[in-house]
Amino acid sequence: MRFPKPWPVAVLALLVGVLLGIRVDADLLSPDVTRASRRVSEAFLMINERYVDGVDADRLAEDAIRGMLDALDPHSVYLPADVIRAENERFDGGFEGIGVSYELLEGPEGADTLSVVTVMPGGPSERAGLRTGDRIVAIDDSTAIGIVDEGVQRRLKGPRGSTVTVAVRRPGVAGERRVDIVRDRVPLETVEAAFLMPEATGYVRITRFARTTGDEFRAALSRLVEEGMERLVLDLRGNPGGLMSAAVEVSDEFLRPGQRIVEQAGRSAGTTQTFSSRGGGRWETGPVVVLVDAASASASEIVAGALQDHDRAVIVGRRTFGKGLVQNQIPLADGSAIRLTVARFLTPSGRLIQTPWEPGAGDAYREEKQARIHGADGPPADSVHVPDSLRYRTDAGRTVVALGGIAPDFEVPDDTLTAYVRTVLREGLEDRFVREWIDRDGAGLAGRFGGDAAKFFAGFAVTDDDLARFEALARSAGLGGPPDATAREELRALLLGRMAVRLVDRSAWYRAFAPQDRGLAYALGYWRDAERLAAGYTSR
């Protein structure tokens, strides 16, 4: 429900008045704001006192705050206290828990079963003896059958050093056993993959920008350089952003000292700042290709924009999301917060990253963004008339445009799988097949590979017999077939990747599926351009 326009303005009273316990000196407010605040404070109190039904004042306040922020811009939002806790974990790069990823296996009448997908190497669950494929059927003497995702989070997370007891059933092993797990710090890695591909090509995928991202990225670069990396693909596809400071740290690894990375321009004191590189980065001269798509946002766009404006990297993919607003998170008295836009991001050349929006039209804005993420990009940027006011120049004199987001140097089609494999993914058949494989052979496979990526990729393969078994499962589930040669190779890589996740870790997925990643294949075709940019950059 959208509030009428007078309500959001008036709701300021809820933020500055007695209701949320925040005191604002009236001398700092303009007469108009003071009068509006007083008027609606009175109205709010009358609603609570005289409305025919009882009023939930807290709920009314939350709805009103949301209405006010909705009238501003699409990225100013209200965050309840429980969301704040989850967001803090995401930005901190870790939480305290037992160190597993899991899935809920559908059971009769909603009685889902909690199944372990991966166990963090060296983490608390591995130390306690949990293994991929284990079913957790009870947590601290309470059943876990029929548990929902929120319940898993609430019951398995907890303070470091505390103990949780789980009852475990292991496929192929009779009976049930109880396991005591001592909770510990569980890192949430943001550099989700870093490995060397053929032709001395390094691949690094960053999935979000948190406080740990800079350190993770530097460690990945150092390792790849030691392994002989000569050129780098930085994959920011699907990365929704995060902390600006982390984006600055990552950009700094590519740039000479004193080069502008991003400017934030705001209205209030302290919100206008320029952030520049310090130098001493681990990859200041080598060629770079950056992969982006319509879901690359915020901090991802800062990195892509800085490297593009300084002619430091070739940007390949689709036009990015266009989220270039700076939010400050302002805590409220009850543990909730508002994330309020206070400034805009500008790339080194002066381009605004943010896509234009209509005030109060947040729903339409979000719908358009979702449509772009799912493939509705519209005409290529080079076919759109761009006024001179939106044209900018890179350091080397190349033209770049400010159309919202970062337009890639080379646009590539969306990475579309065959219809057969898309159906497999939609129905979750590959997960079912791999789960049954692990249930049957998991002990032997774990003994052979033991979380070792090198051993896994050297010694494990999805054979033609494995594909035949999968096709039989697919036919029994009503999926037509057989798949053609292209679909079979996609399927082979898909099953290899799903097994890699369960037998090694999440990062192994990217290495397994890389040969079928069409976006990555396109990126690998632009090395001459990247080498030319790198040579020009080092000579300037």
- Whether 309 is a known active-site residue: answer yes
* 523 lies in some domain: no
Do 211 and 290 share a domain, yes or no?
Answer: yes
Q: Which two structure tokens, joined as six digits, stand for 25?
A: 């000196």
Which three-class secondary structure state does DSSP give residue 328?
Answer: strand
* 85 lies in some domain: no
Which three-class secondary structure state does DSSP give residue 446?
Answer: helix
**Consecutive H or E run containing 315:** strand 314-317
Q: Contact, 206 vs 234, CB < 8 A?
A: yes
Do 377 and 434 share a domain, yes or no?
Answer: no
Do 43 and 110 share a domain, yes or no?
Answer: no
The answer, yes or no, to whether residue 34 has pLDDT greater than 90, is no
* 79 lies in some domain: no
HSE-CB of 491 using CA atoms within 13 angstroms: 29
* 306 lies in some domain: yes
Do 473 and 506 share a domain, yes or no?
Answer: yes
Task: Say how far apart CA 317 and CA 479 lie, in whole Å.
Answer: 32
Model confidence pTM above 0.75: yes
**CA 364, chain centre distance (Å):** 22
Q: Contact, 329 vs 337, CB < 8 A?
A: yes
Task: Say how far apart CA 453 and CA 443 lie, in whole Å.
Answer: 17
Work out how many domains the chain is built from and give that number: 4
Task: Say how far apart CA 348 and CA 303 lie, in whole Å.
Answer: 11
Of 88 and 334, more confident: 334
- Whether 184 is a known active-site residue: answer no
pLDDT of residue 378: 59
Dihedral over Cα of 177, 178, 182, 184: its sign: positive
Q: Contact, 406 vs 305, CB < 8 A?
A: yes
The answer, yes or no, to whether residue 12 has pLDDT greater than 60, is no
Q: Which residue shows structure tokens 């740039």?
A: 255
Q: Which two structure tokens, joined as six digits, stand for 49?
A: 């006192």
Mean pLDDT, range 251-265, rounded to an integer: 97
* Straight-line distance from the first to the last Cα atom of the chain, in angstroms, rounded to the nearest whole number: 56
Dihedral over Cα of 490, 422, 242, 101: its sign: negative
pLDDT in tens, 463-522: 999 999 999 999 999 998 789 999 999 999 999 999 999 999 889 999 999 999 999 999
Do 130 and 62 share a domain, yes or no?
Answer: no
Mean pLDDT, range 207-232, rounded to an integer: 97
Q: What is the DSSP letter of 335?
A: S
- Please state, as a whole number, how many other Cβ atoms lie within 10 Å of the Cβ of residue 502: 25
Last residue of a domain, one of 415, 444, 471: 415
pLDDT of residue 268: 84
Task: Say how far apart CA 334 and CA 80 lie, in whole Å.
Answer: 9
Q: Which two structure tokens, joined as six digits, stand for 328?
A: 């400050």
Of 342 and 122, more confident: 342
Query: Which CATH number does the domain housing residue 134 bear?
Result: 2.30.42.10
Last residue of a domain, one of 187, 215, 238: 187
**Consecutive H or E run containing 70:** helix 57-70
Q: What is the DSSP letter of 254?
A: T
pLDDT of residue 384: 66
* 259 lies in some domain: yes
Do 302 and 431 share a domain, yes or no?
Answer: no
Q: From the candidates 41, 277, 323, 349, which is the catalytic residue?
A: 323
- Whether 157 is a known active-site residue: answer no
Report for 29-33, 45-49, 317-321, 450-454: range of highest mean pLDDT: 317-321
Q: What are phi and psi of 330, to 5 degrees?
A: -110, 115
* 501 lies in some domain: yes
Mean pLDDT, range 141-146, rounded to an integer: 89
Q: What are phi and psi of 186, to 5 degrees?
A: -115, 110
* 537 lies in some domain: no
β-pairing verdict for 325-331 and 77-79:
unpaired
* Extended beta strands in 56-200, E state: 77-79, 94-97, 100-105, 113-119, 135-139, 142-143, 163-169, 177-182, 184-187, 191-197
The answer, yes or no, to whether residue 8 has pLDDT greater than 80, is no
Q: What are phi and psi of 331, to 5 degrees?
A: -70, 145
Do 28 and 64 share a domain, yes or no?
Answer: yes
Q: From the candidates 251, 277, 298, 336, which is the catalytic residue?
A: 298
Task: Say how far apart CA 494 and CA 422 lie, in whole Å.
Answer: 11
Do 234 and 351 share a domain, yes or no?
Answer: yes
Task: Say how far apart CA 130 and CA 147 lie, in whole Å.
Answer: 19
Alpha-carbon separation of residue 427 from 28, 107, 433 (angstroms): 58, 16, 11
Do 471 and 423 share a domain, yes or no?
Answer: yes
Q: From the candidates 70, 184, 309, 311, which is the catalytic residue?
A: 309
Do 302 and 378 share a domain, yes or no?
Answer: yes
For 178, the domain range is 94-187
Instruction: Give the total residue count for the chain.
Output: 540
Last residue of a domain, one of 136, 169, 187: 187
Q: What are phi and psi of 260, to 5 degrees?
A: -65, 135
Do 389 and 474 share a domain, yes or no?
Answer: no
* 21 lies in some domain: yes
pLDDT of residue 7: 39
pLDDT in tens, 71-122: 888 888 898 887 777 777 666 666 788 988 888 888 776 678 899 998 887 7
Do 351 and 444 share a domain, yes or no?
Answer: no
Q: Give the closest residue to 330 by CA, choosing from 10, 24, 9, 7.
A: 24
Q: What are phi and psi of 134, to 5 degrees?
A: -60, 140
